[in-house]
Amino acid sequence: MDRFLYKKEILIDDSGWGDLILGVVIGALKLPDRRYMERRIPVSSFQTPNFQNKKYLDDAVKIAEEIVEVMQPDRGTIFRVCSGYVLISIRKYLRTQGFRVEEIEVTGELQEMVERSFANWCKEVGAPLESMKGKRSFNTFFEWVAEKPHLREKLVKTGWKSWNQRWREKAYQIHLGK
């Protein structure tokens, strides 16, 4: 039974993947000593041509390398990594480095920490989190971008097809009062 219980683990989660603005925050929590670190994948990795080239996956690997360097896991450490798509390259990288990796749905403390980090990033750029009452919303972010699209579009994941096919034009129309 003891072989299935790991005394050391590192949990990894992300936040921001499905949000209209900014990039993604990746956080890692080392247990049992509760060391936490986070890094950001910039919004530029979600804009053309980087998004189509999946640069965000390369960025995630660089973050994984830094997690290993900072957290100093040994072979007795298991990585429990959220099942989110943006973390696929982290799971693959860690396995190629010989670490045990388990794909999980992260809940609890780490999820809250990473979500809070993304929310803080939103606050840094002036996004209207107070009107969201703790829940991020595509519509709230969209309306905020549409107020000043000429300034805020640089914060949008413009690599999304839906941005170019539908939402960009709509944002500018709203801004112009059409």
How much is the pLDDT for 1? 42
Fold of 2-126: Nucleotidyltransferase; domain 5 (3.30.420)
**Long-range pairs of 59-62 with CB within 8 A, sequence gap ≥ 24:** 60/26, 60/86, 60/87, 60/89, 60/90, 61/89, 61/90, 61/93
Domain coordinates in residue numbering, the chain: 2-126
pLDDT tens for each residue of 109-125: 999 999 999 999 999 99
Q: Report whether pLDDT(2) > 50.
A: no
pTM, rounded to two decimals? 0.90
The mean pLDDT value for 134-153 works out to: 88
Mean pLDDT for the chain?
A: 91
pLDDT at 107: 87
**For 125-138, what is each residue's pLDDT tens digit?**
998 776 555 567 78
Question: SS3 for 38?
Answer: strand
Angle between helices 55-71 and 88-96 (to 10 degrees): 50
Which amino acid would we find at residue 78?
A: I
pLDDT in tens, 50-93: 999 999 999 999 999 999 999 999 988 999 999 999 999 999 99
